[in-house]
Structure 1
Amino acid sequence: MKKNLLALSLSLGGVLLCAGGAHAQSSVEVSGLVDVFAGSIKNSGDAGRKSVVDSGGLTTSWFGFKGTEDLGGGLKANFQLTSFIKVDTGSQGRFANDTFFSRDANVSLSGSFGSVMLGRWMAPNFLPSVVGNPLGDSFTFSPLILHMNVPLFNGTGWGATTPSDTGWSNQLVYSTPNIGGFKANLQYQFGEQAGNNGKKNVGANFFYFGGPLTLTGFYERDQISNPGAGSYLGTTKKDWMLLGAYDFGVVKPFVSYGQAKADNSPNKAKTVQLGASVPVGPAGKVLVEWVKTDLSQTKVDRKTYTVGYDHFLSKRTDVYAMFMGDKITNQTSGTSFGVGIRHRF
């Protein structure tokens, strides 16, 4: 009897799948990345050194779901639901009270016209800063990402130069199709603020990939904090940056320059980056990056450099070792180092 019921269930399931396939083809993918390192962290101005086993040495760990349905005629429906996770403790999010799907939570329609997306997605600043520096999206060892996105809570008063997080909630995004290696995103975040309905975030970025040449940049004008529903920042913040890289084969140099300013402060942050990725054998590369950010009004600057090595054991798994130096004007210097492993699934 049980065998008959099982056979009937499988038969009905196959009929339903075939019926669904007659109308549209769809797929759902489970994917993610886990990155853990052991090391010692001391930023400029820190009172002491902290030994750690921590998550996200080179990439913030995450997991989630994404899917696509072919609607016919070149039109597709897409969704993304992905969440950050701290692998060293098993806790969800990048920090306390981070929203569950703070990495992605969106649905879109795409076709020959490009795509239109609604929901939570990357802020305009994020992807250009990732492809425009040799250490990618490392919130631990990439000097550019640290200067742009990671404030220091150690009494130095050093804050992030980006206006409002690396992801925006409540977004409407139009992405152009790829035209000869060029693509752009136009992004609008609804403020959803009672009594402040005119407050919003707007921005754009672009990418050009032409053989060995990479050019990218972004602009943001922000009034709303993130993640989640956010709140009014109390001012308007503006941020822009241009970044480029060229792969010569034996070395890939990176360079960028950008500025950030809030309307309620006379300070203007000016950030310059120089970096390089040097292949070592078929599976390794040396990574070098130096960044300086000047605050125009207070005459304070921060200089950070990183030297490291990344080695791929397979297409999905790599191991790395990083050393970083950090110095803010009139503050004690800091050095950090770590060795870690990163796996994609």
Structure 2
Amino acid sequence: MKKSTMALGAVLVLSSVGAYAQSSVQLSGLADAYVGSMRMAGDSKRISTVGSGGMTTSWFGAKGTEDLGGGLKAGFAFTSFMRLTNGDYGRFKNDMMWSRDANVSLSGGFGSVILGRWMAPNFLPTVLFNPFGDSFAFSPAILHANVPLFNGTNWSGTTQSDTGWGSQIAYSTPDLGGLKGTLQYQFRDGANSGKNFGGNLMYFNGGLGLTAFYERTEMGNPVATTYADGSKRTNWMVGGSYDFTVVKLFATYGQSKNDVSNAKLKTATTGLSVPIGAGKLLAAYAHTRNNLLDATRQTLTVGYDYNLSKRTDLYANVMHDRITDQTSGTSFAVGLRHRF
């Protein structure tokens, strides 16, 4: 912990100096906390809590680019998640210091190449095509994909390779008339024999948005270790959105499969965002069928996100979560999010 604190201090000092020396280096982040009463499907009791990252996981760090001339740029990103509940780094205990970003990049007319830890192929398609974005506490799409339940229900997320991959090389195409694609490969770590690869496509034109991703994984993250059952797992999703100005609609459909257990999880999501006053009314629903458990999970969230300024917003959410043959749960929360 002492070494991590020293490393963090060094990065912040260098980032501050760099910000004066060149405008391409920036220290930024986001702080998000909420107070709520939480109960997920299968929980034995309700928990009242002050939580971190209600609508977006809190983070901070430094990013920058250098113009190399001829349209070529070099870049770096060192960003860390943090928990406002106890001031510790990471999304959870034992998460790595720079688990959000730790990479260098080269970009130009050919697109961009990134080396190091960066987002996984599943991340952007999932967060951009649901109205609650990257809310790991209240977005039904994110909860079903990335957040396992540790309450005896045996319910795991459909995307078990995590939302970020380390030791990877990623290539992203330039914007081709609104279409952009990314290919990613995560190398095995140390003695591990596993590897992960995948990619995604995103298309935006006017009010229309379309996406798809595919992953074939043999390792979990953030510490890259092969799955305990030795399985190879495939995960894919397609989705779309359309902004009618008075309402924006979202929908996705995808599948996750384990070649050892033969578990197959199929997930469909829908959602909408309606501008009202200085904020937006949000609603989203996710339905996942797990053939191995012979069970379904259904999650519905309704909320309102009110903008106090361009950088600060207040939100209130109500969520109902249920799984076949398990006790259902309802959660309530009010929170504050600030970008800096």
TM score, norm. by length of structure 2:
0.92
Q: Indicate the percent of aligned positions where both proteins have the same amino acid.
A: 61
Alignment of 1:33-112 (within 5 A): 33-112=30-109
Q: CA deviation at 1:225?
A: 1.4
- 2:240 partner letter: G
Distance in 2 (CA, whole Å) between partners of 1:187 and 1:33 is 27
Structure of greater Rg: 1
- 3-state SS of the aligned residue for 2:82? strand
State the match for 1:257 in structure 2: 253
Q: Paired residue for 1:237?
A: 233
Where does 1:1-345 land on structure 2 (aligned, <5 Å)?
27-194=24-191, 196-197=192-193, 199-228=194-223, 230-233=224-227, 234-281=230-277, 283-345=278-340
- In structure 2, how many angstroms separate the alpha carbons of the residues matched to 1:163 and 1:204? 16
Q: What is the number of equivalent residue pairs in this alignment?
A: 319
Structure-2 separation of matches of 1:115 and 1:185: 9
**Secondary structure of 1:129's aligned partner:** helix
Letter in 1 for 2:235: D
Distance, in Å, in 2 between the alignment partners of 1:297 and 1:87 is 37
Contact 1:163 1:220 in 2 (8 A): no
CA distance, structure 2, for counterparts of residue 297 and residue 339 of structure 1: 36
AA of the residue aligned to 1:204: G
Question: Per-residue deviation at 1:243?
Answer: 1.1
Q: Tell me, yes or no, if the aligned pair for 1:81 and 1:104 is still in contact at 8 Å.
A: yes
State whether residues 240 and 258 of structure 1, in contact with CA within 8 Å, keep that contact through their aligned partners in structure 2: yes
Q: Is the 8 A contact 1:26 1:69 kept in 2?
A: no
Alignment correspondent of 1:4 = none
> Matches of 1:214 and 1:136 in 2, distance apart?
14
Hey, what's the Cα distance between the residues in 2 that align with 1:218 and 1:97? 28
> Helix, strand or coil for the counterpart of 2:231?
strand
Asked whether the equivalents of residues 272 and 291 of structure 1 are also in contact (C-alpha less than 8 Å), the reply is: yes
Where do 5+ consecutive residues of structure 2 fail to align? 1-17
1:133-181: per-residue Cα shift (whole Å, max 9, x none)? 0000000000110000000000000001103011000000001000101
> Which deviates more, 304-313 or 290-299?
290-299
**Partner letter of residue 335 of structure 2?**
G
Alpha-carbon separation, structure 1, partners of 2:170 and 2:280: 35
Q: Distance in 2 between matches of 1:311 and 1:231?
A: 41
Counterpart residue type for residue 277 of structure 1: S
1:90-116 per-position Cα deviation (integer Å, ceiling 9, x unaligned): 111000110000000000000000011
CA distance in 1, matches of 2:77, 2:109: 20
What's the CA shift for 1:87? Answer: 1.1
Tell me the residue number matched to 1:9.
Answer: none
SS, match of residue 24 in structure 2: strand
User: Can you list the C-alpha shifts for 1:50-93, whole angstroms capped at 9, x where unaligned?
Assistant: 00011000000000000000000000000000000001211110
Query: Stretches of 4+ moved more than 3 A in 1?
Result: none
- Offset of residue 299 of structure 1: 2.0
Q: CA deviation at 1:193?
A: 4.0
Amino acid at match of 2:251: V
Which deviates the most, 185-194 or 93-102? 185-194
Counterparts of 1:191 and 1:263, CA distance in 2: 19
Tell me if the contact between 1:163 and 1:239 (Cα under 8 Å) persists in the aligned partners: no
Give, in whole Å, the separation in 2 of the partners of 1:125 and 1:201: 12
Partners of 1:120 and 1:88 in 2: CA distance: 25
